Structure 1
Amino acid sequence: MTTINPHLETAPMLLPTVPPPFPLRWGFWIAALHAGWRGAVGGILRRAVALYQDLGGAPRDLVWAFGPCIQPCHFEVGPEVVDAARSDAAWHEGLAHPGPKDRPHLDLHGLLRAQALDLGLDPGRDGSLPRCTFCEPEQLFSYRRGDLDGRQWGWAELPNP
């Protein structure tokens, strides 16, 4: 979801993957993205930054953040997920490690951050919250933990000029 309208606030409901805010802001533009592993591997961040560049923006000017999501301590995936993630230009082997059941665990935050840096986003403008939705039941909803009725929301808006 993107907008150039300062009167349109975005408040998407989130799943426990990497939710907004992804406030990719440059004066008149903001984007709120939702990326699980499929979105990350599928290039959602790369497409958003390309759209921003098409509007005349430079990636280094973006203010950006990744919200809480399941962290690698609990994000068990199949080997096919790691294989798909390895196809990304920003991949490095530190983004996956074997879990306690010999199944890989993926660092989704790390993969998206690596993509952001690969795209030229300034690490000094990163406001990410690397909190684990699985580890913090008192604060964060996680469907993977068995929560069926919780929700998380993100909020992003452009200030009035």
Structure 2
Amino acid sequence: MSVPSRTSDLLAVPHGFFGREGGVSTGAMASLQCGFGADDDLTSIRENRRIVADSLIAGAGLASVRQVHGTAVVRASGEPAEDERPEADAIVSSEPGLLIGILTADCAPVLLCDAKAGVVGAAHAGWKGALGGVCEAVIAGMERIGARREDIAAAVGPCIARASYEVDEGFRRRFLNADDENERFFADGRAGHAQFDLEGFVASRLAAAGAGRVDLMGEDTYAQPQRYYSYRRATHRGEPSYGRQISVIGLLPAR
């Protein structure tokens, strides 16, 4: 089954950055809503996740985590039940035929692979996780199960873009206190505010951590309501809930 998604030429394994098109959810959550935390029908969520998995590897399991904007990494081993998903913001795997997925709604999804070693990773990189080191953590987690960081390719998927991401001075100061060089990820905004480049910041952390190659999708989730869910857009519109898109990667089953 064909489902719209973005892919990266750098990732030589089955993967996709999926948006909101191609699923079965209805109303405000239409249509490929994959997050259990959204105000959506559970049967529809399960079917959407099945659609995503089957579009990459027919019959594959899909492992995900309960995301908390932290830096913890878990190794996937089969598909956990919905209420047994571990709290983490990154997943790694070397299990053929198993997909791993990360949910986002403006935060940056990161998919990674070392095709030579047969190791994949996925990370949920919001500003808090990215500043805290989730990009470095997922690369280290991949190394622990056989990857070499210089052979790791990473792609940063659709997320809120700088033009849509207004932040206050306190937010900016957190990043400058961590490293003065982070100034380059902020552009001038209205008085007392700035525009933050989350995608660029995440890419810089991946490169600094030693990822061999880094790709950027360059898609703004906030500015494309027909293609992507967006937490910030839903908040600005006063909507009671928001959907989550999923980004997925995995290894083909062994023959």
- Shorter-chain TM-score range: 0.7 to 0.9
Please say if residues 139 and 211 of structure 2, whose CA atoms lie closer than 8 Å, have aligned partners that are also in contact. no
Residues 55 and 150 (structure 1 numbering): CA distance in 2 closer, same or farther, change over 3 Å? closer
Misfit runs of 4+, over 6 Å: none
1:63 alignment counterpart: 153
For these two proteins, the number of residue pairs brought into alignment is: 158
| Structure 1 residues not aligned, in runs of 5+ | none
Residues 158 and 46 (structure 1 numbering): CA distance in 2 closer, same or farther, change over 3 Å? same
Amino acid at match of 2:95: N
Please say if residues 90 and 118 of structure 1, whose CA atoms lie closer than 8 Å, have aligned partners that are also in contact. no
Instruction: Tell me, in whole angstroms, the C-alpha distance in 2 between the residues paired with 1:117 and 1:137.
Output: 30
Please say if residues 134 and 142 of structure 1, whose CA atoms lie closer than 8 Å, have aligned partners that are also in contact. yes
Q: Secondary structure at the match of 2:171?
A: helix
Q: What value does the CA root-mean-square deviation take over the aligned residues?
A: 2.2
Shift of 1:56: 4.5
Identity of aligned residues (%): 25
Please say if residues 155 and 217 of structure 2, whose CA atoms lie closer than 8 Å, have aligned partners that are also in contact. yes
Residues 159 and 127 (structure 1 numbering): CA distance in 2 closer, same or farther, change over 3 Å? farther
Q: TM-score, normalised by structure 2?
A: 0.56
Q: Secondary structure at the match of 1:160?
A: coil
Residues 15 and 134 (structure 1 numbering): CA distance in 2 closer, same or farther, change over 3 Å? closer
Higher share of residues assigned strand? 2
Please say if residues 158 and 221 of structure 2, whose CA atoms lie closer than 8 Å, have aligned partners that are also in contact. yes
Q: TM-score, normalised by structure 1?
A: 0.85
Shift of 1:159: 2.0
Which has the higher mean CA deviation after the structures are superposed, 95-104 or 29-38?
A: 95-104
Residues 11 and 120 (structure 1 numbering): CA distance in 2 closer, same or farther, change over 3 Å? closer
Please say if residues 13 and 154 of structure 1, whose CA atoms lie closer than 8 Å, have aligned partners that are also in contact. yes
Instruction: Tell me, in whole angstroms, the C-alpha distance in 2 between the residues paired with 1:159 and 1:91.
Output: 40
Instruction: Tell me, in whole angstroms, the C-alpha distance in 2 between the residues paired with 1:156 and 1:70.
Output: 21
Residue of structure 1 aligned with 2:127, choices 37, 52, 74? 37
Residue of structure 2 aligned with 1:28, choices 83, 96, 118? 118
Higher relative contact order (CA 8 A, sep 6+): 1
Amino acid at match of 1:154: S
